[in-house]
Amino acid sequence: MNKKLIEAQKNAEDVKLAEMPLEPSADFTRRVLEACAGNYVERKLCEMPIEPSADFTRNVMAEITVEAPTLIAFPLRFKRAMRVLRFSAAGIVALASIGIFFSFSGTHPKNSLNEQIASVLDSDPELAEMVSADDEFSFNELLAVSQLLTTLNKNSEQASDFFAYYEN
Amino acid sequence: MLPDQINDPDSFRMSLIAGGDFSAMRELVERWQKPLINFFYRSVNSVHTAEDLAQATFVKIFKNAGTYEAKAKFPTWLFCVARSVLISNFRKESVRPIAFAAPEDLANIGTSGEDGRVAELEQAFSEAVKTLPEKHRSAILLLCQQGLSYEEIANVMDASVPNVKTWIFRARQVLRERLSVFIEK
């Protein structure tokens, strides 16, 4: 009795399990394909399928050498110097004093130039404050401004000597 | 002074390049050539043109090194220059991609065997990307291919973050739709 009941119940379950009561929605296929396409799109968008040609770097460097041979010689330094010149007259005088300081300092070991500038800044808190107040201010710019001032002031012989040394 | 330049090797390279250091420029070219070429390739679908545009970008970077300010991550500036080169190329050559390509056009790309089918899918994808509006395409490439954040993309494209998100959403939507039509066929 029990066995028959259990068997009947199992059959009923099998029939139920075999049923497919739901029909896919009309756009089911489209949504699956879109999901697949979306997956493919995301993968492909991250790819970098092209390897640069072997001579790409050489070509670019050749182009740069041809097109901009004197680009960084004077104009750029002049532009940077002019940007620094916007600070103040007091600042300019202070900067000029750096060049004069170096010109009187006897020998000018090129590799300790930054140390010498740091030393000047240490001894002049006002100048140091002005320098630290501007994010764009660098040692190179200090030198560029000093050089510009030297160019403007033909009488500053010692400063000219110093910058002649620095350039060489 | 210039804390970003100390922390970011590319910004530091830019300061050297501004002083006329060619070896720093060479390093920069070697480091960024592949991302740049691939960014352009997805826009113009031509390896040759992509390399030409990448070269023009590097030359422009060299010429403008003195104006570079390390206020944002270097790629933000790099792709800003790259995008201006791309747009200027579209204008100059009149090869601006058409604004819309019908999905049927992509689906009608010929079929011949399974290998051919994969190649055609790639081609359909490339065509679909190329025919996106420039802003949508650049935004989604900068996000997915170049790994920039939404904020960085907004800086590159001089747009708001919500605009960038909208462009990327629409680009994804259009690409999915066009590719699914192709797959279905």
pLDDT at residue number B99: 44
pLDDT at residue number A30: 81
More confident residue, B144 or B67: B144
For the ranges A4-13, A121-130, B13-22, B76-85, the lowest mean pLDDT is seen at A121-130
Indicate yes or no: CB of B59 within 8 angstroms of CB of A42: no
Class for the domain spanning B103-184: mainly alpha
**CA-closest candidate to residue A46, choices B175, B184, B118:** B175
pTM, to two decimals: 0.62
Listed by start position, the domains of chain B span 3-93, 103-184
Which residues make Cβ contacts (< 8 Å) with residue A137, sequence separation at least 6?
A: A84, A130, A131, B1
Indicate yes or no: CB of B180 within 8 angstroms of CB of A34: yes
Indicate yes or no: CB of B35 within 8 angstroms of CB of A44: no
Yes or no: say if A138 and A81 are a contact pair by the CB < 8 Å rule.
Answer: no
Give the number of C-alpha atoms closer than 13 A to the C-alpha of residue B48, restricted to the C-beta side.
0
Chain A, nearest residue to B147 by Cα: A46
Counting every residue, how long is chain B?
Answer: 185
**CA-closest candidate to residue B168, choices B145, B84, A58:** B145
> Looking at chain A, which runs of residues are DSSP E strands?
none
Indicate yes or no: CB of A48 within 8 angstroms of CB of B35: yes
Share of chain B above pLDDT 70, in %: 84
Listed by start position, the domains of chain A span 2-46, 75-167
B82 to each of B13, B52, B60, how far by Cα in Å?
A: 18, 12, 9
N-terminal to C-terminal alpha carbon distance within chain B:
60
Yes or no: say if A97 and A117 are a contact pair by the CB < 8 Å rule.
Answer: no
Smallest Cα distance from B160 to chain A, Å: 22
- Write the DSSP assignment of A50-83 as a string of letters: PPPPTTHHHHHHHHHHHH-TTTTTTHHHHHHHHH
| Chain A residues with CB within 8 Å of chain B CB | 29-30, 33-34, 36-38, 40-42, 44-53, 56-57, 59-61, 63-65, 67-68, 71-73, 76, 79-80, 131-132, 135-138, 140
Give A113-146 pLDDT, tens digit per residue.
566 667 767 777 766 766 665 545 555 566 655 5
- In a 3-state reduction of DSSP, which class is residue B46? coil
CB atoms under 10 Å from CB of B40, counted, come to 27
CB atoms under 10 Å from CB of A19, counted, come to 8
**Rounded CA separation A95/A142 (Å):** 7
Of the candidates A33, A60, A67, the beta carbon closest to that of B180 is on A33
Class for the domain spanning B3-93: mainly alpha
Indicate yes or no: CB of B33 within 8 angstroms of CB of A60: yes
Q: In chain A, which residues have their Cβ closer than 8 Å to the Cβ of B66?
A: 72, 76, 79-80
pLDDT at residue number A163: 52
Chain B, nearest residue to A47 by Cα: B145
Give A63-118 pLDDT, tens digit per residue.
888 876 555 444 444 444 444 444 444 555 566 666 655 555 554 444 455 666 67
Single-letter code of the amino acid located at A132:
S
Chain B, nearest residue to A39 by Cα: B176
User: String of b and e for A96-128 (b: at least 16 CB within 10 Å)?
Assistant: bbbbbbbbeeeeeeeeeeeeebeebbeebeebe
**Structure-block tokens of residue A105:** 């300092």
